[in-house]
Structure 1
Amino acid sequence: MPETRSASASAAEGRRREDAAQAVARPSAPLWWVWLAAWPVTAVFVLSNAATPLYVLWQRDIGFSKGTLTVVFACYIVGLIGSLLISGVVSDRLGRKPVLLPALGLALAACLIFSTATSVTALIVARLFTGIAVGAVVSAGMAAVTDVAGPERKRIAALLASCAMVFGAGLGPLLAGVLSEAAPGPTVTVFVVEGVLLATAVAAVLRMPLRRPEVRAKGAWIRVPGVPNGNGGRLTLGIAVFAPGITATSFVLSLGPSLLSGLLGTTSRIVAGAMAFVMFLAATCVQFAARRLKRRTILTAGASCTALSMITLTVAVHTSSVPALVASALLAGAGQGMGQLGGLSLLNSSVPPRRLAEANAALNVGGYIPAGVLPVSAGYLSDAVGLADGTTVFGVALLGLAVAGGLVVRVTRRQVTDPA
C-alpha cells in the first residue's frame, strides 16, 4: 500500500513538472492577443441569446405555448451539455483549434436555420446546434484564452474569458431587438450580422498563437467532465454559486419577454432585448469591479445577488412593475457574473493546462443542468397555474438554492483561500 501511494505521488509530481516545463518553454503572447483570443467566445455567445426577443414573433407566426418555448430553449441546454461531455477532453488532447473551428461552423449553420425557420422543428435544430457550439466554446474557447495569456496572467485570463461570455450573451438580444424593429426581415437581419461576426472569429482562431498539447491525458474520450484529484472542492464551490446565477439569467432569457408582453403589458422587442443586455452588462461590469476581491468574497456576493434577484422577481410579477423586473434582471446578471468569475478563478489557480478545458466543461455542466431543468418546469407550471404563480414557485426554489450556495462558501475556507 505505501508503495502504491508513493508511485501515485511520484506520477503526480512528474505531471506537475511537465506542466511547469511547458509553461516556462511557452513565451506569453502580447496582451492584445489575450483580448483577441476572447473574441470567438463573445461571437458565439452573441448567437446564444440572439433569438430571445424574436420568440414572440415566432410564437405569433408558428403558434406554440410558453411550455413549448421553454422546451425550445432547453434544447440549447441539451446540445450544450452533450458538447461538454466531449469537447473539453478532445480540446485537452488534440488542441483548442480542432474543437473551436467545427464549433464556429455549427454556429454559422445555426444562423442559416434561424433565418429561414418556419416551424418549431427548425427552431429546435437551430438551438441544438447553438448549444453544441457554445459547449465547445465554454470549454476550449475559455481554455484558449488562458493558454494565450500564459501562467503569469491566469487571473486576467479568467476575467476576460468570463466577461467575453456574458458580454456576448447580452449583446445578442440587444442586436436582435433593435434590428428586428428597425431593419427589414425581423427574424433574418440579426443572423446575417451574426454570420459576419462569426466569420471574423474564424479568422481569429486560425491566427491564434496556440500549440498542440505536448502531453496527452489518458482515459475515455466521452465522459462526464471532471477535475484532477484535489480540485473537487473548488469545483463544487464554483457550481454552488454559478448554477443558481445562470439559472436566474436563463429564466429571464426564456420567459422574460413573455413577462414583459403578457403580464406587464410591454410588447417592444427592443425593450426585451435591452433588458437582457443590461442584465449581462451588469454581469460584465461587476466582474471588472470585483476582480481584485478575494474569491470567497466574490462567491458570497454572487450568491447574495442571486437571492435578492429572486425576491425582486416575485415582487415584480405580483405588482406588475417593470422597474422591479429590470432590477431583478440586473441582480441576476451580477449573481451569474460573480459566480462565474469565482468558479473560473478557482479552477485557473489550481488546474494544470492539460486538464483546464475539461475543468471548464465540468463547471458549466454543473451550472447548465439546473439552468435547463428549472426554467422549463417554470414554463409548464406557468401554463397550468398562471405566469405569476409559476414565477413565484420558481423564485422561491431558486432563492433556496442561492442561499444554500452562499452558506457553503461561508463555511468552507481552504478551497477559496487566495494565495499569499
Structure 2
Amino acid sequence: MSETRTASVQAVDGRCGNGVAPAGGRAPAPLWWVWLAAWPVTAVFVLSNAATPLYVLWQRDIGFSKGTLTVVFAFYIVGLVGSLLVCGVVSDRVGRKPVLLPALGLAMAACLIFATATSVPALIVARLFSGIAVGAVVSAGMAAVTDVAGPGRKRIAALLASCAMVFGAGLGPLLAGVLSETAPAPTVTVFVVEAFLLATALLAVLRMPLRGPEVRTRGAWVRVPGVPRGNGRQLVLGTAVFAPGITATSFVLSLGPSLLSGLLGTTSRIVVGAMAFAMFLAATGVQFAVQRLRRRTVLTAGAVSTALSMTTLIVAVHTSSVPALIISALLAGSGQGMGQLGGLSLLNSSVPPQRLAEANAALNVGGYIPAGVLPVSAGYLSDAAGLTSGATIFGAALLGLAVIGGLVVVATRSQVTDPV
C-alpha cells in the first residue's frame, strides 16, 4: 500500500480523465484521501440495509406478508437499477460530485421517510430512494475512489471501494438491531444516526480532490450501461461470480429474519442485525485476505463459496440448524466479497477513466437484477408452499448459477491470470 511519489507519475495522475486530482492537478492525493473517498460509499450502504431488522416491527404495526416484504425489498433494486442506467454515464460526462451530492440528499430524504413510515407505500418510497442513492455511489462513488487514488494505486482503490460497500451494508443492520432494542423509538433512532453519517459523507464529497472530466464520451445519456469494445469479457467474468454472490446475500437480508424466527423462535433484532453484520464482515475480511491473489483464483473461490453457501442453506432449513444457517450467511458474504473484488479489479485494470463509472454500473446491473428477482420469487413461493420449500428451490437454483459462474472463470484463463 506504499505510495509512489515519483514526479513523472504525479504528472500522469494530475491529467487523469475524469477527475482525479488533487489540488493543483499535479500531485496525487495523499493515501488518507483515498480512504476518505470511500466513506460516502460506506455511509450510503449503511442506509441500504438499515431497515432489515426493523421489518418485523413494521409487519406487526402495518400488517403485510413475506411476499409483500420481498416486494418492498425489490423496490430498492428497481431504484438501484434505474439509477445505474443514468448515473454511470452522467458521472463520466459531468463528473463525480454532480452525481454524488444529489444522491446523498436523496438518501437523507429516505431516512426521513423511513423514520415516519406508517404504511407499505411509504416503505416502498423510502426503499426506492435508497436504491437510487446506492446506484449513484456504486457507479460514481466507487469510480471517485479510483480517481482520487490515481493510476498507480488501482489495486488499493478497488479494494477500498469494494470493502466500503460491503462493510456499510453490514454495519446498517447491526446499528438498526442494537439501537432498536436499546434506544427509544425503535424505527426512528437508527435513521437519525444515519442522517448524521450521511451529512459527514456530504462534507467529504464537497472537499474531495476531484476535477471534472477532460474527455467526454458520446451517446445517449440514459442507456443500459456497458464497457468499451474489448472489455466485454472482463465484464462477463466479473458478473458471472458477483451476481450469484450478491443474490445470496440479498436472500439472507430479505428472508433471513423469517428463517431465524422459524429456527430459533426469536424475533430479536440484535440477532438479525448481528447475522447480517457477520455476513458482510466476512465479505470485507475475505477481500483483504485475498487481495494479492490472482484474479482467476479470487473469482473461482468466490463461486465456490457461493455454491457452498447455498448447499449449507438447504441443509439448514431441512435440519432446523442455526449453525448451518450462520455458516451459510458467512459463505454468502465471502462469495459476494470475492466476486465483487474480482469484478472491480478486472474493470479497474482495463477500462479507461472516462468510462469507469459506466463500467461499474454495468457490473452492478448484472448483479442486482437477479438479486432482486430471485429473492422476491422465493418470498412468494415461501408464502404459497412454505419457507422450507421456497428456500430449498431458491438455494438449488442459485447453486446452479454459482457453479456455472465458476466454470466460466475456469474456462477463461487468459483474462484473469494477472494479480489483483
Q: TM-score, normalised by structure 2?
A: 0.94
Distance 1:26 1:306 in 2: 43
The 5-angstrom pairing of residues 255-266 of structure 1 reads 255-266=255-266
| CA shift for structure 1 position 264 | 3.4
**5+ residue gaps, structure 1:** 1-18
**5+ residue gaps, structure 2:** 1-11, 18-24
The 1:20–1:188 alpha-carbon spacing in structure 2 relative to 1, beyond 3 Å, is closer
The answer for the alignment partner of 1:274 in structure 2 is: 274
The answer for the alignment partner of 2:208 in structure 1 is: 208
The answer for the alignment partner of 1:227 in structure 2 is: 227
| CA shift for structure 1 position 267 | 1.5
Distance 1:41 1:132 in 2: 13
Is 1:51–2:27 an aligned residue pair? Answer: no
The answer for the alignment partner of 1:156 in structure 2 is: 156
Alpha-carbon contact 1:45-1:165 (below 8 Å) kept = yes
The answer for the alignment partner of 1:16 in structure 2 is: none
Deviations 1:340-365 (A, max 9, x none): 00000000000010000000000000
The answer for the alignment partner of 2:5 in structure 1 is: none
Distance 2:16 2:384 in 1: 56
The 5-angstrom pairing of residues 10-409 of structure 1 reads 22-23=15-16, 26-409=26-409
Greater Cα offset, 258-267 or 240-249: 258-267
| CA shift for structure 1 position 28 | 1.2
Distance 2:150 2:330 in 1: 33
Q: Secondary structure at the match of 2:15?
A: helix
Alpha-carbon contact 2:309-2:331 (below 8 Å) kept = yes
The 1:20–1:161 alpha-carbon spacing in structure 2 relative to 1, beyond 3 Å, is closer
Distance 1:414 1:280 in 2: 30
> Could you tell me which amino acid in structure 2 is paired with residue 189 of structure 1?
T
Q: Which runs of 4+ in 1 moved over 6 A?
A: none
> Could you tell me which amino acid in structure 2 is paired with residue 122 of structure 1?
A
Q: Secondary structure at the match of 2:374?
A: helix
The 1:21–1:175 alpha-carbon spacing in structure 2 relative to 1, beyond 3 Å, is closer
Distance 2:14 2:49 in 1: 40
RMSD, matched Cα: 1.4
Alpha-carbon contact 1:83-1:135 (below 8 Å) kept = yes
Task: Give the number of aligned pairs.
Answer: 403
Deviations 1:82-127 (A, max 9, x none): 0000000000000000000000000000000000000000000000
The answer for the alignment partner of 1:14 in structure 2 is: none
Q: TM-score, normalised by structure 1?
A: 0.94
> Could you tell me which amino acid in structure 1 is paired with residue 269 of structure 2?
R
Distance 2:334 2:239 in 1: 15
Q: Secondary structure at the match of 1:90?
A: helix
Alpha-carbon contact 1:263-1:387 (below 8 Å) kept = no
Deviations 1:276-309 (A, max 9, x none): 0000000000000000000000000000000000
Q: Secondary structure at the match of 1:43?
A: helix
